[in-house]
Amino acid sequence: MKSRVLRAKDYREVDVKPLLKPFAPDEAALEAELRRLTNPYIRWEDGTTVSPGDQVVCRLASDCPRFQREKVRFVAGSGMFHKELEDMSTGMEVGETREAVLPEGKVSLTLTGVMNRVVPEASDEMVEKLGLEGVHTVAAYRAYLLEQQKEAAFQEDSYDALNHLMREVISGSEFVLDREDWEEPINRELDRCRTLCRQEGMVLEEMTPEQFNGRIPVKSYHELVAMLQYEGWDKLCRYLLGCLYAGSDGFRTGEAEYGKFIADYVRSWHVSEENAREANPYDSFLFNEYAGHAYTVLKEYIRKFYKGRNPSWRFKTQTRTISKN
């Protein structure tokens, strides 16, 4: 390859802090997950009074045939039967009768039985059975769920910051960019798309907007070529930066990683290994991996800032395989 980096802008000179928001925990979601922990341990007991979530057995009487029923079962507050009748049943005692005036007419509901939903308190034993490494108590499980929220927030919040940082690094660096190096990955990607289309019985150059829909975010072959050409220079720069970073951080990828990628592709897309390799040539895999490594390096830099704004938090470190090849 003739293209190379003459001078790379130091990404640490770019201030991304203004693009990162402080994290705010979703307490309602945390509590919902803790309640879900107890779901397998819920039991039902004969009761006398209806509370939301209880199983109700009742008799309905009405001039409307839909509500003239000797025996009806529903869960109070679920909204699966009739919201107004479910709401009316809450607080009723066995043997009690209440009436509601509905658009269909007057309905009389007599409570004949109730099974109370008994939800136990979350316990360390419940957590232990989840089999999460290093998580053995309710407090530890809550901390684990909070970490999941933080990681999800980081992934969402870092998207714009990462794209901004990459643009700043590319625009602030100096490259020697060869046209053949730009054309080669574009042609490989077009060949890959042709292969995928052929495997589905289509011809890439003849595909209709309807056929492109859901596969590639374009409406025609010409739009696809234009998109790849437009993105091609930046992707070549990312590849060159990824190779540069790999020279100092030890990242390597090769045949072993390619074999794992192909095996995962076969399992995910239910295709033969031959088709998987045809659709994902080794050279394309290497190019994409090193271009992706540039993103990984910059994302870890952003992660440090995100963590700095929330110093008491732990965050997962994204790792990429280092090969001895």
Angle between helix axes 179-199 and 221-249 (nearest 10 degrees) is: 120
Q: DSSP of 143-166, one letter per residue?
A: HHHHHHHHHHHHHHHHHHHHHHHH
Q: Is residue 187 part of a domain?
A: yes
Q: Is residue 73 part of a domain?
A: yes
Domain total of the chain: 2
Q: Is residue 317 part of a domain?
A: no
Q: What is the DSSP letter of 93?
A: B
Task: Place 320 in a pLDDT band, splitting at 50, 70 and 90.
Answer: very low
Q: Is residue 316 part of a domain?
A: no
Q: What is the DSSP letter of 65?
A: G
Q: Are 299 and 163 in contact (CB under 8 A)?
A: no
Q: Are residues 104 and 253 in the same domain?
A: no
Predicted local distance difference test score (pLDDT) of residue 17: 82
CATH of the domain at 84: 3.10.50.30
105-127 pLDDT, tens digit each:
999 999 999 999 999 999 999 99
List, in sequence order, every residue forming a beta bridge with 62; answer none if it has no partner. Answer: 107
Q: Are 117 and 42 in contact (CB under 8 A)?
A: yes
**Coil, strand or helix: which one is 49?**
strand
Q: Are residues 8 and 96 in the same domain?
A: no
What is the dihedral sign for C-alpha 236, 238, 240, 242? negative
Q: Are residues 20 and 85 in the same domain?
A: no
Q: Are residues 48 and 18 in the same domain?
A: no
Q: Are residues 79 and 208 in the same domain?
A: no
Q: Are residues 203 and 258 in the same domain?
A: yes
Predicted local distance difference test score (pLDDT) of residue 314: 53
Q: Are residues 55 and 180 in the same domain?
A: no
Q: Is residue 238 part of a domain?
A: yes
Q: Are residues 14 and 147 in the same domain?
A: yes
Domain that holds residue 260: 4-25+139-309
251-304 pLDDT, tens digit each:
999 999 999 999 999 999 999 999 999 999 999 999 999 999 999 999 999 988
Q: Are 280 and 261 in contact (CB under 8 A)?
A: yes
**Coil, strand or helix: which one is 176?**
strand
Q: Is residue 88 part of a domain?
A: yes
